[in-house]
A and B are shown apart, each in its own frame.
Chain A
Amino acid sequence: MIEAIAELVADHPLFRGLPADVAELVAGCARNEAFATDELLIAEGAPAEKFHLLRRGRVALEIRKPGSGQLVVETLGPDELLGLSWLFGSKRWHTDARALEPVGTVAVDAECLLRKAEADPVFGYALMKRVAPVMLSRLQATRLRLLDLYGHGADNS
């Protein structure tokens, strides 16, 4: 079972190219999960106890917007990482994540993985080097959206 999950972990871009024993280390904290359309993978305010390596299907990140209900602020798809709040801070989710279609993930127990990272700093550093670029790219994307790219004054014709 762990071997099969290790293959899925090793095949995911977040861990691709790392030594096989690293994939097995992660797989020891992981399991397959499946979600139906419209099912929540994570819920705003709930403890961020695990993250998901998306394998199939698309997920919408939703935030409650005062006065106007839910707002979808990002979508994620296969080969992407769902969930960053498990790493730092309050370790509570800041958004909902809803399946837009049937979704399959490798769900990784965050506490289990962080314990292994603390015990093995080489692994911990490798893990950080893989997660940090995802955080950076999402931060940059958020900054770009602050510009309101397509608002008035951005006309090109």
Chain B
Amino acid sequence: MAPTTADGAVATADGRADGTSLWPLPYRVAWRRRETADVVTVALEPVGAAAAPYRAGQFHMLTAFGVGEVAISVSGTPGTPGPIEHTIRDVGAVSHALGHAPVGALLGLRGPFGTDWGVDDLADRDVLVIAGGIGLAPLRGAIHQLSQRRGTGSLTVLVGARDPDQLVFTADMEQWRARGATVLCTVDAAAPGWRGEVGIVTTLLTRLALAPERTVALLCGPEVMMRFAAADLVDLGLHPDRIRVSLERNMQCGAGICGHCQLGPLLLCRDGPVLPYGGTVAALLGQQER
């Protein structure tokens, strides 16, 4: 039984009710939307006390009661009123339970945790986003924010997926294009009739006229994709510190205590998930989880 605060809200282990410690706050499924055959966006609203506001790139620990807890990046846009959106791929027992939770079901939420994309620093920068597969989900809120900023920088979004049916947020892509962003999609293979690109996402870099000195890149997706994309960007003249990657390991406590998400000197739930590619990350990227 979770402890409660004076107003009856579920409190965290240290008595706070902001969800950033070890007790989950109760949230209810407000609505759910199927994105692909195995990807669902689930919108959660608080039953009692709400978690602290999140920033784009941060994650929550979501609990399917009786099944388990897993780290899920927020796919919604910070500051947007209403339920918090999480986009979940069905890859195991917990994500299956979360993704299949019906409207009205009770789930647990802790967080937000970790570092963010730093969108506020990018007003006048050209921003290049490279996303692979479900890696677009943690970037979605940042792209929404960047597509509405008032600065002078351009916004380019490159998206890779296994096939056209695996592309997520295609309606959002139209919205980003309408706001002036360049959005290019590529898939590994497609049936004839697909009018987009076919090839790995890094091949799209050859189609761009980058200004490396004023560009910041945000990368999220399979690590091998980020490794090759980051290396290509460095070859094109981007400084490694202006390439931000989102890394994930086995997040469990979310507070840098348990050590399950350790990657070299980093605890990714606390020091990440968003990190500059320069420094230690370039060397660590691609190391296998132990």
Query: Does B76 interact with chain A (Cβ within 8 Å)?
Result: no
> Distance in Å from the Cβ of B209 to the closest Cβ of chain A?
12
What mask results when residues 139 to 157 of chain A are scored 1 for a CB within 8 Å of chain B, else 0? 0010011011111111111
Contact A157 B199 (CB under 8 A): no
What mask results when residues 144 to 171 of chain B are scored 1 for a CB within 8 Å of chain A, else 0? 0000000000000000111000100000
Contacts of B87 in A (CB 8 A): 157
**Could you tell me the distance between the alpha carbons of A62 and B192 in the complex, rounded to whole angstroms?**
8
Question: Which residue of A147, A149, A156 has the most chain B CB atoms within 10 A of its CB atom?
Answer: A156
Contact B191 A69 (CB under 8 A): yes
Query: Does A73 interact with chain B (Cβ within 8 Å)?
Result: yes
Query: Does B225 interact with chain A (Cβ within 8 Å)?
Result: yes
**Could you tell me the distance between the alpha carbons of A1 and B274 in the complex, rounded to whole angstroms?**
56
Query: Does B207 interact with chain A (Cβ within 8 Å)?
Result: yes
Query: Does B52 interact with chain A (Cβ within 8 Å)?
Result: no
Stretch binding the partner chain, chosen from B102-110, B115-123, B131-139:
B131-139
Contact B191 A148 (CB under 8 A): no
Question: Which residue of B71, B72, B160, B162 has the most chain A CB atoms within 10 A of its CB atom?
Answer: B162
> Given A148-B162, A150-B160, does the pair A157, B135 have CB atoms closer than 8 Å?
yes
Contact A156 B198 (CB under 8 A): no
Contacts of B86 in A (CB 8 A): 157
Contact B189 A150 (CB under 8 A): no
Stretch binding the partner chain, chosen from B9-17, B19-27, B216-224, B256-264:
B216-224
> Distance in Å from the Cβ of A7 to the closest Cβ of chain B?
22
Query: Does B248 interact with chain A (Cβ within 8 Å)?
Result: yes
Contact B192 A147 (CB under 8 A): no
| Chain A interface category by residue count | 20 to 34
Contacts of B137 in A (CB 8 A): 156-157
> Given A73-B198, A77-B207, A150-B133, does the pair A156, B221 have CB atoms closer than 8 Å?
yes
What mask results when residues 38 to 75 of chain A are scored 1 for a CB within 8 Å of chain B, else 0? 00000000000000000000101110000001111111
- Which of B89, B189, B202 is within 8 Å of A72, CB to CB? B189
Query: Does B194 interact with chain A (Cβ within 8 Å)?
Result: yes
Contact A75 B199 (CB under 8 A): yes
> Distance in Å from the Cβ of B120 to the closest Cβ of chain A?
22
Query: Does A100 interact with chain B (Cβ within 8 Å)?
Result: yes
Contact A147 B224 (CB under 8 A): yes
**Chain A stretch 84-122: residues in CB contact (< 8 A) with chain B:** 98, 100
Query: Does B213 interact with chain A (Cβ within 8 Å)?
Result: no
**Could you tell me the distance between the alpha carbons of A145 and B222 in the complex, rounded to whole angstroms?**
12
Contact B91 A156 (CB under 8 A): no
Contact B222 A72 (CB under 8 A): no
> Given A72-B189, A98-B192, A148-B162, does the pair A154, B222 have CB atoms closer than 8 Å?
yes
Contact B91 A152 (CB under 8 A): yes
Contacts of B91 in A (CB 8 A): 152-153, 155
Contact A70 B222 (CB under 8 A): no
Contact A150 B161 (CB under 8 A): yes
**Could you tell me the distance between the alpha carbons of A141 and B202 in the complex, rounded to whole angstroms?**
9
Contact B133 A149 (CB under 8 A): yes
Contact A100 B199 (CB under 8 A): no
- Shortest Cβ distance from B164 into A: residue: A72
Contacts of A156 in B (CB 8 A): 73, 132-135, 137-138, 220-222, 246, 248
Contacts of A58 in B (CB 8 A): 197
Query: Does B200 interact with chain A (Cβ within 8 Å)?
Result: yes
Contact A72 B191 (CB under 8 A): yes
Closest 5 CB pairs of A and B: A150-B133, A154-B222, A157-B73, A150-B162, A156-B135
- Between A and B, 16 residue pairs with Cβ closer than 8 Å are A62-B192, A72-B194, A73-B189, A141-B202, A147-B224, A149-B132, A149-B133, A149-B200, A150-B133, A150-B160, A150-B222, A156-B134, A156-B138, A156-B248, A157-B71, A157-B138
8 extra interface residue pairs, beta carbon distance < 8 Å, beyond A149-B222, A156-B132 = A58-B197, A71-B190, A144-B202, A149-B224, A154-B221, A156-B134, A156-B248, A157-B87
